[in-house]
């Protein structure tokens, strides 16, 4: 089922918890799986460290997330889904990436596309 989501998805948000090192460690395998399933070397993605509201429980440094994203040449953000910090910005950025990769071919920009799909894994 996960492979099907990856095959059909046009953009991906790779989320880890800043309070759990294991979730951060899983990102590399997840990214590689996406690229393998999509049979592509460049897919719109964002690395997201979630739970930034739990700074006192942090085990994954912001610099670790930023460094990984820099290595992969993709965007990095930290968010709090609970407190709604930065969540909209993730989706705005990912949709912009998708639109740059697959521009509207009908001559006009309606602002909406039935083809745009984002997968959250």
Q: Please give the sequence-ordered ranges of beta strands (E in DSSP) within 39-114, or none if there are none.
A: 45-50, 75-78
Radius of gyration of the chain (CA): 15
Structural domains of the chain sorted by starting position, each given as residue range(s) with its CATH number in brackets: 1-100 (3.40.50.300)
pLDDT digits (tens, 9 = 90+) for 8-17: 899 999 999 9
Q: Please indicate, yes or no, whether the overall pTM of this predicted structure exceeds 0.75.
A: yes
pLDDT digits (tens, 9 = 90+) for 60-85: 999 999 999 999 999 999 999 999 99
Higher pLDDT, 102 or 28: 28
pLDDT digits (tens, 9 = 90+) for 72-118: 999 999 999 999 999 999 999 999 999 998 765 454 444 444 444 44
């Amino acid at each position: 089922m996960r492979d099907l989501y990856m095959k059909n998805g046009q953009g991906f948000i790779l989320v880890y918890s800043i309070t759990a090192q294991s979730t951060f460690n899983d990102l590399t395998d997840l990214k590689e799986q996406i690229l393998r399933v999509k049979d592509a070397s460049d897919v719109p993605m964002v690395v997201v460290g979630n739970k930034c509201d739990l700074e006192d429980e942090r085990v994954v440094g912001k610099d670790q997330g930023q460094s990984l994203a820099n290595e992969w040449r993709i965007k990095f953000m930290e968010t709090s889904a609970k407190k709604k910090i930065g969540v909209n910005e993730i989706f705005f950025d990912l949709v912009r990436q998708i639109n740059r990769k697959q521009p509207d071919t009908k001559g006009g920009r309606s602002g909406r596309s039935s083809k745009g799909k984002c997968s959250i894994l």
